[in-house]
Amino acid sequence: MKSFKKYYLINTSPEDLYKALTLPHIIQLWSGEKAEMNTTPNSEFSLWDGAICGRNIEFEEGKKIVQHWYFGEENEDSVVTIKLHPHNKGTSVELIHTNIPDEDFEDIVEGWDDEYWGALTEFYQPE
């Protein structure tokens, strides 16, 4: 099992980014795919029309999201923590993803960079 930690800079406020990460209709706008999400602890979520599934653990509005991501047999050891920090250019995102299966690591890192945060960066790109 591997872990991944990286910082991303998104050109919007922590409050708006939090909404973009937790409200299904906004997730669908930036991802282009169906999403099921709510901020109730222990609720299930599904992103990218079921490509990513898991269970929500903890929310701190505008600041933090903690989730279990499932791999295979709903392995709940993989934990994603997203912390949002105000930055003079928007929001500094601290992403920590622990216990990623070795065979999935490269795909997960590429997905974080290109699909997840790449899509959000593009969505909030100034015109």
| pLDDT, tens digit, 9 for 90 and up, residues 15-41 | 999 999 999 999 999 999 999 999 999
pLDDT for 56 equals 96
Average pLDDT, the chain: 93
- Taking the CA atoms of residue 64, residue 66, residue 71 and residue 73 in that order, the dihedral angle to the nearest 10 degrees is -160
- Residues 5 and 82: beta-carbon distance below 8 Å: no
pLDDT for 73 equals 65
User: Which CA distances in Å does 9 have to 13, 72, 87?
Assistant: 11, 31, 8
Residue 35 counted as domain residue: no
d(CA 45, CA 40): 10
Tally of domains within the chain:
1
d(CA 19, CA 99): 26
Question: For position 93, which CATH number holds?
Answer: 3.30.530.20
d(CA 103, CA 74): 16
pLDDT for 109 equals 95
pLDDT for 66 equals 98
Residue 95 counted as domain residue: yes
**Each residue's pLDDT tens digit, 66-115:** 999 997 665 667 999 999 999 999 999 999 999 998 988 999 999 999 99
Structural domain harbouring 9: 2-20+56-123
- Residues 7 and 97: beta-carbon distance below 8 Å: no
pLDDT for 54 equals 93
